[in-house]
Amino acid sequence: MSASGAAEQPAALAEGCRPGCGACCIAPSIHSPIPGMLEGKPAGVRCVQLDDGNLCRLFGDPSRPVLCARFGFDEALCGSHREEALERIAALELATR
């Protein structure tokens, strides 16, 4: 834990993911239970576990959904900025319905 009480993110995540992005916690639908969202969440809805700094409160926690754990920085998916990541993940969501 950091001094602020937030779970620290591994260096590998910090090196790839853009601080404050959170696109992978907003754009995709999640069909498995999330603490605080027992029915999962629809695409485009902010996860309740995304903190004010757009970091996952469940990072490293076994209650984190499998889908979330599989997301990692990928330049082809995340693009060069947050809005591009949101657009690309939303497009992937539509293509996989």
Could you give the CA distance from residue 48 to residue 57 in angstroms, rounded to a whole number? 9
Tally of domains in the chain: 1
Q: Does residue 81 surpass a pLDDT of 60?
A: yes
* In-domain check, residue 8: no
Mean pLDDT, range 46-64, rounded to an integer: 93
Portion of the chain with pLDDT greater than 70, in percent: 84
* In-domain check, residue 10: no
Tell me the per-residue pLDDT of 9-20, one tens digit each, with 9 for 90 and over: 444 444 568 888
What phi, psi does 67 have (nearest 5°)?
A: -55, -45
* In-domain check, residue 7: no
- pLDDT of the residue at 3: 46
Instruction: Give the chain's mean pLDDT.
Output: 85
Q: Does residue 24 surpass a pLDDT of 90?
A: yes
* In-domain check, residue 60: yes
Range of the domain at 32: 16-95
pLDDT tier, 25 (very low <50, low <70, confident <90, very high otherwise) = very high
